């Protein structure tokens, strides 16, 4: 039998050893194990830095102030009183003492018709009355002495009463030829002329009382409970004038078409410079409540979809507070329900969550005032 050569034996041994090593799979983990160990070392070094890294937000404590909610409605101006004066009798216009635009006082004569015998009728009735009074006096005296029957006394008294009634009728008929102003005001129109013939009931003048003048608008059912007579209001006319007024009347019956309630605001108009029928924007100031003024950008939503703001507590933890919008003005939102001295997040509120710790940085003290608009007309507490 031939001898097995040494190198062949060595080759077989190396082959068997290599096969056994490959079968264990250790060759595939050598590089990856090294890389994994290196990654673990880097993560361990970076872990402390990540633990102390907090989001930075800007916070500010908004000023607290007393604010009256403003209810804005469209309306128009109207006279305090308006009367269309009419002729109380037919006849010819003898005197017309007024013209359009003239101011008159209560009781002043506006128009007088020709009397056409009415004065004579009154004088005749007065003469008859004087005669009946003398007859009644004589009848009373004779009745006391028993020289006249009871029926004759009653007839004298009846004649006296009829004469008095005739005088009153004649006086009333004469008075109807004169038309007087029922209140002080401004003559707005005069559709008749001196010398013209008019019928009873014909329009002769329109009288307006413009002091005070009214701004009339309508408020919704939701706003009705927040206003009352005596509340202040501001009126902006279409020509740009701003006026102050006081609510004089709030209707207690809604319009069946719009379900709104009429409101009348009285405005001083002594000079008569405000005409009736002008378009007006009425801003009604309701009762003052404590609020804070914040820009709209500060308001955000909770996870449940509620409208509110986020604040930072003493432990730098974020909390969400729902808000009550008292008023929405062009300059700011006036909100209630915000805790006193709360640090409101004014930048970054949408990037943090409730319960998250943050790094708060005080914003510019004037930031809220600038964003929320001028607060000079409010009483800051």
The more confidently predicted of residues 143 and 376 is 143
Banded pLDDT at 260 (limits 50, 70, 90): very high
For residue 141, give every residue at least 6 positions away whose Cβ sits within 8 Å of its Cβ, in sequence order, or none. Answer: none
For the domain spanning 55-70+290-380, the CATH number is 2.40.420.20
- What per-residue confidence (pLDDT) applies to 376? 41
CB 119 within 8 A of CB 173: no
- What per-residue confidence (pLDDT) applies to 378? 43
* C-alpha distance from residue 253 to each of 79, 219, 221, 257, 258 (Å): 22, 12, 11, 12, 11
The more confidently predicted of residues 230 and 370 is 230
Phi, psi of 94 (to 5 degrees): -95, -40
Banded pLDDT at 44 (limits 50, 70, 90): low
Spatial distance between the Cα atoms of 381 and 65, rounded to a whole number of angstroms: 5
CATH 2.40.420.20 location in the chain? 55-70+290-380
What does the pLDDT look like over 47-87, one tens digit per residue? 554 555 777 877 878 777 777 777 889 999 999 999 999 99
Radius of gyration of the chain (CA): 48
- Give all strands of the β-sheet with 178-180 in edge-to-edge order: 178-180, 109-113, 91-96, 197-198
CATH 2.40.30.170 location in the chain? 74-78+211-288
Spatial distance between the Cα atoms of 314 and 63, rounded to a whole number of angstroms: 19
Helix axes 150-175, 118-145, angle to 10 degrees: 160
Looking up tokens 């097995």 gives: 4
Q: Name which CATH class applies to 74-78+211-288.
A: mainly beta
Query: Hey, CA dihedral for 153, 154, 155, 161, is it positive or negative?
Result: positive
The C-alpha angle with vertex 284 and arms to 278 and 290, in degrees rounded to 5, equals: 160
Q: Is the pLDDT of residue 379 over 60?
A: no
Spatial distance between the Cα atoms of 346 and 348, rounded to a whole number of angstroms: 7
- What per-residue confidence (pLDDT) applies to 30? 47
The candidate with the shortest Cα–Cα distance to 227, out of 80, 72, 79, 75, is 72
What does the pLDDT look like over 9-23, one tens digit per residue? 677 676 776 766 666
Looking up tokens 């872990």 gives: 47
- Please give the helix or strand (H or E) that residue 133 lies within, else none: helix 118-145
CATH 1.10.287 location in the chain? 118-175
* C-alpha distance from residue 134 to each of 40, 122, 123, 145, 172 (Å): 136, 19, 17, 17, 24
- What per-residue confidence (pLDDT) applies to 53? 75
Give the pair of three-digit tokens for residue 325: 């919008």
Tell me what the pLDDT averaged over the chain comes to.
81
For the domain spanning 118-175, the CATH number is 1.10.287
What does the pLDDT look like over 217-228, one tens digit per residue? 999 888 888 888
What does the pLDDT look like over 345-375, one tens digit per residue? 788 777 777 778 887 777 776 665 665 554 4
Determine if the pTM surpasses 0.85. no
The candidate with the shortest Cα–Cα distance to 90, out of 183, 192, 187, 189, is 192
């Amino acid at each position: 039998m031939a001898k097995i050569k040494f190198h062949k034996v060595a080759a077989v041994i190396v082959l068997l050893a290599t096969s056994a090593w490959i079968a264990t799979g250790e060759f595939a983990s050598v590089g990856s194990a090294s890389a994994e160990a290196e990654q673990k070392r880097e993560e361990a070094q970076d872990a402390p830095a990540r633990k102390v890294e907090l989001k930075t937000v800007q916070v500010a404590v908004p000023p607290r102030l007393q604010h009256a909610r403003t209810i804005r409605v469209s309306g128009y101006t109207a006279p305090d009183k308006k009367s269309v004066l009419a002729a109380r009798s037919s006849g010819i216009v003898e005197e017309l003492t007024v013209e359009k635009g003239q101011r008159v006082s209560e009781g002043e004569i506006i128009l007088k018709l020709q009397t056409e015998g009415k004065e004579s009728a009154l004088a005749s009735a007065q003469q008859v009355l004087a005669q009946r009074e003398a007859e009644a006096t004589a009848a009373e005296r004779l009745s006391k002495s028993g020289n006249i029957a009871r029926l004759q006394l009653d007839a004298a008294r009846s004649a006296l009463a009829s004469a008095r009634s005739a005088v009153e009728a004649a006086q009333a008929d004469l008075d109807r030829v004169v038309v007087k102003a029922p209140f002080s005001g401004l003559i707005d129109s005069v559709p008749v002329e001196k010398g013209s013939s008019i019928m009873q009931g014909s329009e002769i003048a329109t009288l307006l009382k413009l002091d005070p003048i009214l701004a009339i608008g309508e408020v919704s059912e939701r706003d009705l409970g927040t206003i009352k007579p005596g509340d202040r209001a501001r009126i902006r006319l279409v020509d740009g004038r701003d006026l102050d007024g006081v609510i004089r009347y709030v209707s207690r019956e809604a319009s069946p078409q719009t379900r709104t309630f009429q409101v009348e605001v009285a405005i001083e108009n002594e000079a008569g410079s405000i005409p009736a029928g002008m378009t007006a924007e009425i801003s009604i100031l309701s009762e003052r409540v404590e609020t804070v003024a914040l820009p709209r950008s500060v308001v955000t939503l909770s996870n449940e979809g509620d409208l509110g703001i986020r604040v930072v507590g003493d432990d730098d933890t974020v909390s969400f507070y729902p808000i009550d919008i008292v008023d929405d003005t062009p300059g700011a939102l006036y909100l209630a329900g915000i805790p006193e001295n709360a640090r409101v997040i004014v930048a970054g509120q949408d990037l943090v969550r409730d319960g998250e710790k943050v790094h708060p940085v005080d914003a510019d003290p004037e930031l809220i005032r600038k964003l929320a608009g001028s607060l000079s007309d409010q009483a800051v507490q």
